[in-house]
Amino acid sequence: MLARVLSCAVVGLEGVLVEVEVDVGSGVPHLAVVGLPDTAVQEARERVRSAIRNSGAKFPLGRVTVNLAPADIRKAGPAYDLPIALGILLASGQLEADLSQTVVLGELSLDGTVRHTTGILPMVGVAHAHGIRRAIVPAVDAAEAALVDGVEVIPVNSLAELVAHLTGEQPIAPFAPPALSEEDTIVDPGIDFADIKGQEHVKRGLELAAAGAHNLLAVGPPGAGKTLLARALPTILPPLGREEALEVARIYSVAGLLPPGKPLVRNRPFRAPHHTVSYAGMIGGGAWPRPGEVTLAHRGVLFLDELPEFSGRVLEVLRQPLEDRVVTISRASGALTFPANFILVAAMNPCPCGYAGDPHHPCTCSPAEIARYQKRISGPLLDRIDLFLHVPRVEYEKLADRRRGEPSAAVRERVIAARRRQARRFGDSRKLNSDMTPAEVQIHCQLDDAGEQLLRTAVRQFGLSARAYHRVLKVARTIADLAGSERITSAFVAEALQYRPQDMS
């Protein structure tokens, strides 16, 4: 007897419908799984066999063939356990149910318990796109599946419970997602700007980075507060909109990083990989590519502390995502494109000892050592950074001052207002000034006469590249947006030019 159950696979970040075909025939007892399964799917044979028996059903004595179609798509992970088990029960005549318009996902333990499965959100999403309006998923993943509107989610805890539901003995009520509370939209308090002493120039740079999604490099001696300031950046970023939150949730679902119970992430990601991170860990990869740090930081912040300590290969692969906002990974089986629209925040010392240019601590590095250290960061990578900030040592008077500075909440309100202006300008709430094309720069970055003259002089004196010229205009546009001005004046251009790189020593 032949039975069919719908399931899904994940290719990159996208779901693909998979039809699980099960045939039970006579012959030597054997369970075969075909259709390009990986090791985890092959091991499903023993999990499914034990789960069926421990759930009070009988495993058929005969030749059982399971085909996962289409056969040219690799099937990975244990999400096929539950649909295979249901297919066996249907094909062996132990269960009768119409599952033609239902997608089934879930890993089985040996006792029949249904366990958490990664990638639920993109899989249920593709099922909905194909007109399927019901999904059977592990109970722990029901909230994640319910993020897809228009799908009836059936949460199951065990195979026996699902069988009782399908036979009508103990129906399972569809999952009802709880309403969003105010706590779900509150930005993680983190490190408040008000508690950071001094560094007003750096705080201003972080505000610009948050408002226009500009990349930033902070240079200063050890202990000046570079890492502290970078970790305070998320507190001035607006919470994710629903569309952005679903984008991030899809990525984290595939990576298995969604927090249980609250799958709709509202705080922007903040990723801070160690400088020993591998090429594949940063950009994504593997025999079957998985998202890396640049994708996990999508719609958030990628913080690289001690930038020159990262390997040259890892730093150079950042050039494509910084420019294109996506990363493409090619393998013999095909190419996958992952989103990578993040704010890069990097921090470094000016020299190996860290004290070049410090008035209170002598530098022990030779000029040649300083030059070699700074040359670890290539010119093309530096050209993709909008804001260069010097982070000086904080004097005692500022450290001992008990007065609090401007809180992050006040800065965040200005950032949100600036982003709203950009949303009206571009007609897209997810597009910011840093995303402007050269054609859009010409339209939206008109300068007054004084500003035009100032920028012309700066391009000639500093030898700015075409990319750097456009980045100055983008930063000036963000400064104007924070000031509530549609016109970019010479004062805004002058401030934008202050953030161009100086001698880092």
pLDDT digits (tens, 9 = 90+) for 331-340: 766 788 999 9
| CA distance to 232, 341, 391, 430, 450, per residue, from 227 (Å) | 9, 22, 11, 27, 37
Classify residue 280: in a domain, yes or no. Answer: yes
Structural domain total, the chain:
2
Domain end marker among 402, 437, 472: 402
Q: Does 493 map to a domain?
A: no
22 or 187: whose pLDDT is higher? 22
Rounded-to-integer distance, Cα 48 and Cα 55, Å: 10
pLDDT in tens, 164-176: 999 999 999 999 8
Q: What helix, strand, coil percent values describe the chain, rounded to 5?
A: 40, 20, 40
The reply to whether 126 and 218 lie within a common domain is no
User: Does residue 214 surpass a pLDDT of 90?
Assistant: yes
Q: Is the pLDDT of residue 505 over 50?
A: no
Indicate if 275 and 218 belong to the same structural domain: yes
**Residue span of the structural domain in which 205 resides:** 185-402
Residues with Cβ < 8 Å from 223, sequence gap 6 or more? 393
Pick from 117, 132, 167: which residue ends a domain? 167
The answer on 284 and 359 residing in a single domain is yes
Phi, psi at 268, each rounded to 5°: -70, 140
The pLDDT of residue 187: 53
Residue 432 has pLDDT above 60, yes or no: yes
Residues 150 and 196 in one domain: no
> Percent of the chain scored above 70 by pLDDT?
97
Q: Is residue 466 a part of any domain in this protein?
A: no
The verdict on residue 357 lying in a domain is: yes
> Within this chain, do residues 262 and 142 fall inside the same structural domain, yes or no?
no
Question: What residue type is assigned to position 38 of the chain?
Answer: D
Residue-level pLDDT at 183? 52
Residue 392 lies in a domain: yes
| 221 and 120 fall within a common domain | no
Quick one: 250 and 289 in the same domain? yes
Predicted TM-score (pTM) of this structure: 0.90
Long-range contacts of 89-92 (CB under 8 A, 24+ apart): 89/52, 89/57, 89/163, 90/3, 90/5, 90/22, 91/1, 91/2, 91/3, 91/22, 91/23, 91/24, 91/60, 91/64, 92/1, 92/24, 92/58, 92/60
CATH number of the CATH domain containing 291: 3.40.50.300
Domain boundary among 118, 135, 167: 167
Report yes or no on 31 lying in a domain.
yes
Q: What CATH number has the domain bearing residue 112?
A: 3.30.230.10
Averaged pLDDT, 183-208: 80
Query: Do residues 109 and 231 share a domain?
Result: no
What pLDDT band is residue 430 in, cutting at 50, 70 and 90?
confident
Burial zone of 47 (CB within 10 Å; 0-12 exposed, 13-18 middle, 19+ buried): buried
- Residue 271's identity, in one-letter code, is R
What is the average pLDDT across 362-383? 91
Q: What residue type is assigned to position 392 of the chain? A: P
Confidence of residue 3 (pLDDT cuts 50, 70, 90): very high
Q: Are 387 and 239 within one domain? A: yes
Give yes or no for residue 181 having a pLDDT over 60.
no
23: how many CB neighbours lie within 10 A of its CB? 17
pLDDT at 1 (0 to 100): 80
Residue 129 sits in the same domain as residue 232: no
* 161, 259: one domain: no
Mean pLDDT in the chain? 90
Buried b (16+ CB within 10 A) or exposed e, 188-210: eeebbbbebbbbeebbbbbbbbb
Question: Measuring CA to CA, how many Å separate 440 from each of 2, 215, 341, 423, 453?
Answer: 58, 19, 18, 14, 21
Residue 205 domain-assigned (yes or no)? yes
> What angle (nearest 5°) sits at the alpha carbon of residue 245, between those of residues 196 and 266?
40
* 488 domain-assigned: no
pLDDT value at position 12?
A: 87
Q: Are residues 100 and 189 in the same domain?
A: no
Question: Please, are residues 228 and 191 in contact by the beta-carbon 8 Å criterion?
Answer: yes
Amino acid at 368: A
